[in-house]
Amino acid sequence: MKAAQVAIVTGASRGIGAEIARHLARDGYQVVVNYASNIAEADKVVREITEAGGKAIAVKANVADSAEVAAMFDTTEKSFGKVDVLINNAGVMPPELPMLADTDEKAFDSMMAINVKGTFNTLRQAVKRMEQGGRIVNFSTSIVGTNFPGYAVYGASKAAVETMSAIFTKELRGRAIRVNVVAPGPVATELFLKGKSPERIEALSKVPPLERLGQPDDIAKTVSFLVGDQSAWVNGQVLRVNGGMV
């Protein structure tokens, strides 16, 4: 019998990350539900997976801290024996997005630490730990294509992820490790909806030609495709999952 595949999903205690973890578990993966601080939510995701017959553990790690990331990979290998898949979902976007000139250094440093350095830290561990045939999915944003005012720093942090991913793909030549990027548009998560008026949400839902907000499951299905056999010839690509807004 073929051994079960093992997937690490960063930022998986809620929202898109939690849905990805649940979806991969249904696909048969043993899942590491990474979280930075909310252990109750992470444990809830693990419980949902195990009650449905899957296998999962919650592992605390701030992806901006290289030592904590290394420890997360150690725990994964100790618990499941290997790492086959890495989903770099962890990211931050402040609820208030002022113009570049009005963005403070604290917000800049936070986005760069989690969105860019966090991805950098996990990729460095993945290249050491993964065997032939591993799969990596990093997360960007469709803002890189829309260039909406107010998103300069957030967009820049995700553009860095796209560039890093494209080069990393080529650096992995001979390893059969595929690296792709998912760049969602607006997705109806608690984090996205918080602080927005019903009128604002309605307006945003009409931006894509499909005239709705994305759902976490839309993104999870895309990730499932990118780590599965059906996408075996897809490598080094950015998939903008946004209903056609850009």
Residue in this structure with the two tokens 């999915």, named with its chain if needed: 137
Nearest-angstrom CA–CA distance, 69 and 127? 13
Other beta carbons within 10 angstroms of residue 164's beta carbon come to: 17
Whether residue 154 lies in the annotated active site: yes
Tell me the C-alpha to C-alpha distance, in Å, between residue 80 and each of 8, 48, 115. 11, 19, 27
Helices (H), ranges, the chain:
15-26, 39-51, 66-80, 105-111, 118-129, 143-146, 152-171, 190-193, 198-205, 216-227
Tell me the C-alpha to C-alpha distance, in Å, between residue 179 and each of 49, 71, 170, 234. 26, 22, 9, 9
The one catalytic residue in 29, 35, 151, 154 is 154
User: What are the residue numbers of the active site?
Assistant: 154
